[in-house]
């Protein structure tokens, strides 16, 4: 591709080579005679950062000049992964940089491995935020991300004796060339203390006198767009002590408490919280949330005031804040606090502005993930905000009294109680809780789910009453993923083949053009090329498996993949049960019969929350079953099972392009959307899944491309109960007659067939109705899951048809580009328009 030449920085290989050497010397203190891979990576990154800054400044200058409406994506998580190749390719510098590196004796791909992932997120929600930033920059939309610069990101997973161990993610030790520290951008953030009230006439003035203060310092991470000069910004906040340390205590010889303030302040942004439900450390999490949201809102208001002074009624024309789940919801109270207490607006004006600038996305209906903060904790750390929330709640309930005045009294009161923002803990009526999702719905102009089924479910479950009151507030925005990272850069051979076939690379920013691949599915020559690319990607994953496990795998086997956080609702356990079944079947066969078995390499990867015992059991079971199968000489040529450690963005980039089959088998109604399903579809991996989350829309797109006669589900391997039947089936699970093959496998596990463990708690969680209830209905879906697995084998034997489908998957994946998602947010929620640097 030809690069738009507006940069002042030269990009010819010779200049890049000498500049990288200069960076090695002057930035990293290295020796230009001994450039190690790490130094070369750093020199390169420092060089690229200058390109990024140049473009970011040009973009920000234009935006400052034109003053368009901005979207601010508030998120506690941004799972960015690595930046080197993404930057080089977005800046269209691949060729000269690859050459420059050759002069240094390195290859770009090898150097790229030196970069540590920025793992500032748990999973789907954090990676979605990263894909959204990519799409916003690529589509020239004025917008920034705002989040937290965690010193330690998602823990590193180590498997020791089959068991998950968590090791801190020290990702910043070698420095981070992709961020720019901004000591000039700092805001105070306060906690605790008391309220002082002065009444003058009818007006009550509230002053918050906090007893703790920290400083939020900005770090800017430039976000390059693809095929555009525009470069967005992800602003991450670090917390610092107001005084580096307490000189007074130090002078008195009390050295330890002199460092106290520093330690307490820095603790706020020290570590990303894993998705677990332990109450421990909850207060710090609330402090984290308030910390980054307060700094972000202060920052936005400061910029707004520079241009518009105190004309705050203009704010809704200039700014929109998207709340990525409830984590930043305290921002609603903070906006009221800033407008009323700091800017002197009256309540009605402040509340009117607030509800016009916030929009809320829900990402899960798992009850344990819906945030509810004890009033006691909230009052201790944020007394003014607690009071603001109580006022919002009072007015909200008064509004409901009016709105529901036609209802019989008792019914009305029950509805109001169900919609209250502050309500008693259902398990302990003494304790009052702030329901953050309710606050988010009341304080936002729009609420959206992340796939059609999920958006429908929230309207009839967790937000049913709210939907009755505000039917128009609720929208759907089906998730999407960036085709740049997940196809163009991580599967370059496939991207090249697609471009060759379509005769243009325009599909990279207009994914609907992938539909043009449809006729190629019928072209035997093309199918051959398509399979060759897949095979090469499988070789690359094979090498990774060897590196991680020491084993060689046959890359002509079917690669069957399930990668995602380990959770009971995602049902990795069900996957293992079918692998055990396959093992039993092969063991029972004669050597002659075994010749007809389709060889499979099954891969499972993902992290378990550190306190989630059942999830950790599943990891141990995968390891133990894998050990048995992979060392069994009768079976190992036909079946393998591997648990790959430390699943992260970079590992996903190797795994996804190599998948023949991928599994998305959550109990219907539990997975809000899923986003890896979209990545697998783009990369031509066939999907085995339930009718859940975005699987449904993926199935619709795959049906549509096959023509008017195809039904939803054709071309995929779909199984399992219907979402609408789940509540009833849960009630009847006690009476459910389990399949004999299920009973046999459960007996095997309980007997200790796999490793020296009987996995009692795990087995009980799906069998003993007094313990676990099989809440996710593994037993109900077991038989149809095995049936559909047989269909997979049968289809694999017809490689022509398999590859044909693979091509149709990619061809129909255009809808799931994050560009589509973001343009819907921009038009239907944010009302922001593109503004491109010429």
Residues that bind ligand 26V (CB under 6 A): 123-125, 128, 275-277, 325, 363-364, 366, 368-369, 450, 479, 671-675, 693
Residues 6+ apart with CB under 8 A from 182: 217, 218, 219, 220
Cβ–Cβ < 8 Å for 698, 687: yes
From the list 55, 581, 620, 679, the catalytic residue is 679
Sequence-distant (≥ 6) Cβ neighbours of residue 745 within 8 angstroms? 577, 580, 581, 584
Is 423 part of the annotated catalytic residue set?
no
Q: Which residues contact 609 (CB under 8 A, 6 or more apart)?
A: 274, 275, 276, 277, 565, 615
Return the number of the residue (364 or 806) whose C-beta is nearest ligand 26V: 364
Residue 271 CB, shortest distance to ligand 26V, in Å, is 16
Among 286, 276, 376, 369, which residue's Cα sits nearest to residue 331? 286
Among residues 484, 570, 620, 815, the one annotated as catalytic is 570
Q: What's the angle, vertex CA 744, arms to CA 741 and CA 750, rounded to 5?
A: 140
Element (H, E) at 204: strand 203-209
Pairing, β 212-224 against β 70-74: unpaired
Choose, from 423, 473, 564, 804, the residue flagged as catalytic: 564
Q: Can you tell me the distance from the alpha carbon of 414 to that of 275, in angstroms, rounded to the nearest whole number?
A: 32
- Local structure of 433: helix, strand or coil: strand
At its nearest, how many Å lie between ligand 26V and the CB of residue 672? 4
* Alpha carbon distance 462, 48 (integer Å): 46
Minimum distance, C-beta of residue 619 to ligand 26V, in the bound complex (Å): 16
Q: What residues pair up with 216 in beta bridges, in sequence order?
A: 187, 239
With beta carbons less than 8 A apart as the criterion, state whether 169 and 152 touch: yes
- Measured between alpha carbons, how far is 232 from 227 in angstroms, rounded to an integer? 13
DSSP symbols for 784-803: HHHHHHHHHHHHHH-HHHHH
Tokens of 193: 């203390």
Shortest Å, Cβ 606 to ligand 26V: 12
Task: Give the residue with the Cβ less far from ligand 26V, 89 or 479.
Answer: 479
Closest approach of Cβ 401 to ligand 26V, in Å? 33
Residue number, 356 or 616, with CB nearest to ligand 26V: 616
Q: How far is the CB of 150 from ligand 26V (least distance, A)?
A: 16
The SS3 of residue 689 is strand
Smallest distance from the beta carbon of 671 to ligand 26V, in angstroms? 5
Closer residue to ligand 26V in complex, CB, 285/636: 285
Instruction: Give me the residue whose beta carbon is nearest to ligand 26V.
Output: 124
Active-site residue, selected from the candidate residues 82, 459, 538, 565: 565
Contact 98, 667 (CB under 8 A): no
Please, what is the minimum distance in Å from the beta carbon of residue 450 to ligand 26V?
A: 4
Question: Residue 718 belongs to what H/E stretch?
Answer: strand 717-718
Q: Is 675 a catalytic residue?
A: yes
CB-based contact 683:807 (threshold 8 Å): no
* Nearer Cβ to ligand 26V (190/288): 288
Between CA 675 and CA 720 the distance in angstroms is 20
* Three state DSSP letters for 660-673: CEEEECCCCCCCCC
**Catalytic choice (675, 690, 810, 821):** 675
Residue 449 CB, shortest distance to ligand 26V, in Å, is 9
Question: Of 363, 467, 534, 582, which one is the catalytic site residue?
Answer: 363
- Of 241 and 274, nearer to ligand 26V (C-beta) is 274
Q: Which is nearer to ligand 26V, 276 or 757 (CB)?
A: 276
Q: Which is nearer to ligand 26V, 428 or 611 (CB)?
A: 611
Cβ proximity to ligand 26V, 232 vs 674, nearer residue: 674
* Phi, psi at 291, each rounded to 5°: -55, -50
Specify whether 570 is catalytic.
yes
Question: Among all residues, which ones are annotated catalytic?
Answer: 363, 564-565, 570, 675, 679
């Amino acid at each position: 591709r030809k690069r738009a030449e507006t940069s002042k920085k030269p990009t010819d290989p010779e200049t890049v080579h000498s500049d990288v050497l200069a960076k090695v010397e002057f930035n990293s203190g290295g020796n230009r005679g001994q450039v190690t891979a790490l130094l070369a990576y750093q020199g390169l990154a420092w060089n690229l950062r200058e390109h990024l800054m140049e473009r970011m400044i040009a973009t920000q200058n234009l935006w400052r000049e034109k003053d368009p409406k901005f979207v601010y994506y508030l998120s506690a998580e941004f799972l960015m992964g690595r930046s080197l190749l993404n930057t080089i390719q977005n800046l269209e510098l691949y060729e000269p940089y690859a050459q420059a590196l050759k002069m240094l004796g390195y290859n770009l791909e090898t150097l790229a491995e030196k970069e540590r992932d920025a793992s500032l997120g748990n999973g789907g929600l954090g990676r979605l935020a990263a894909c959204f930033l990519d799409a916003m920059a690529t589509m020239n939309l004025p917008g920034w991300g705002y989040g937290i610069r965690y010193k330690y990101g998602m823990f590193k997973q180590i498997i020791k004796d089959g068991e998950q161990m968590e090791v801190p993610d020290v990702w910043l030790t070698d420095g981070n060339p992709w961020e720019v520290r901004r000591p000039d951008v700092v805001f105070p953030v306060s906690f605790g203390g008391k309220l002082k009230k002065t009444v003058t006439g009818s007006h009550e003035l509230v002053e918050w006198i906090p007893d703790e203060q920290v400083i939020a310092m900005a770090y800017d991470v430039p976000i390059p767009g693809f095929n555009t000069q525009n470069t967005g910004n992800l602003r991450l906040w670090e917390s610092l002590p107001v005084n580096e340390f307490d000189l007074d205590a130090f002078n008195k010889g009390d050295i330890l408490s002199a460092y106290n303030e520093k330690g307490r302040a820095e603790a706020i942004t020290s570590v990303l919280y894993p998705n677990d439900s332990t109450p421990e450390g909850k207060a710090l999490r609330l402090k984290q949330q308030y910390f980054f949201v307060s700094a972000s809102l202060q920052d936005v208001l400061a910029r707004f005031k520079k241009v518009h002074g105190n004309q705050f009624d203009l704010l809704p024309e200039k700014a929109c804040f998207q709340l990525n789940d409830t984590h930043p919801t305290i921002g609603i109270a903070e906006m009221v606090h800033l407008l009323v207490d700091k800017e002197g607006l009256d309540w009605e004006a402040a509340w009117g502005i607030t509800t016009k600038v916030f929009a809320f996305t829900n990402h899960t209906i798992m009850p344990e993930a819906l945030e509810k903060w004890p009033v006691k904790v909230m009052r201790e750390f944020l007394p003014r905000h607690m009071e603001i929330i109580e006022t919002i709640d009072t007015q909200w309930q008064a509004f409901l009294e009016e709105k529901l005045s036609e209802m019989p009294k008792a019914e009305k009161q029950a509805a109001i109680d169900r919609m209250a923002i502050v309500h008693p803990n259902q398990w302990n009526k003494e304790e009052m809780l702030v329901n953050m999702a309710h606050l988010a719905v009341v304080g936002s102009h729009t609420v959206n789910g992340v796939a059609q089924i999920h958006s429908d479910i929230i309207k009839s479950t967790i937000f049913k009453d709210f939907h009755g009151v505000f039917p128009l507030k609720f929208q759907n925005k089906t998730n999407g993923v960036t085709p740049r990272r997940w196809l163009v850069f991580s599967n370059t051979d496939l991207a090249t083949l697609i471009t060759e076939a379509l005769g243009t690379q325009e599909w990279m920013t207009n994914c609907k053009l992938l539909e043009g691949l449809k006729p190629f599915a019928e072209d035997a020559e093309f199918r051959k090329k398509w399979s060759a690319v897949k095979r090469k990607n499988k070789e690359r994953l094979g090498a990774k498996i060897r590196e991680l496990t020491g084993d060689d795998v046959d890359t002509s086997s079917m690669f069957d993949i399930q990668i995602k956080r380990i959770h009971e609702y995602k049902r990795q356990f069900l996957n293992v049960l079918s692998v055990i079944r396959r093992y039993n079947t092969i063991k029972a066969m004669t050597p002659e019969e075994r010749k007809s078995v389709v060889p499979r390499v099954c891969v499972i990867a993902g992290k378990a929350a550190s306190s989630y015992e059942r999830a950790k059991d599943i990891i141990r079971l995968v390891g133990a079953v894998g050990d048995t199968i992979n060392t069994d000489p009768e079976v190992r040529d036909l079946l393998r099972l591997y648990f790959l450690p430390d699943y992260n963005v970079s590992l996903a980039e190797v795994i996804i392009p190599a998948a023949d089959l991928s599994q998305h088998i959550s109990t219907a109604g539990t997975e809000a959307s899923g986003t890896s399903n979209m990545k697998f579809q783009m990369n031509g991996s066939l999907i085995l899944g339930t009718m859940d989350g975005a699987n449904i829309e993926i199935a619709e797109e795959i049906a549509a491309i096959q023509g008017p006669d195809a039904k939803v589900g054709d071309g995929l391997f779909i199984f399992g109960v219907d979402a609408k039947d789940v509540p009833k089936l849960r009630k009847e699970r006690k009476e459910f007659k389990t399949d004999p093959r299920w009973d046999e496998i459960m007996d095997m596990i309980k007997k200790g067939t796999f490793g020296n463990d009987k996995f009692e708690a795990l087995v009980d969680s799906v069998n003993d109705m007094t313990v676990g209830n099989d809440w996710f209905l593994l037993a109900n879906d077991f038989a149809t899951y095995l049936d559909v697995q047989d269909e997979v084998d049968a289809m694999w034997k017809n490689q022509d048809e398999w590859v044909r489908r693979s091509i149709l998957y990619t061809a129909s994946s255009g809808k799931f580009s994050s560009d589509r998602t973001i343009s819907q947010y921009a038009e239907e929620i944010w009302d922001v328009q593109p503004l491109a640097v010429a």
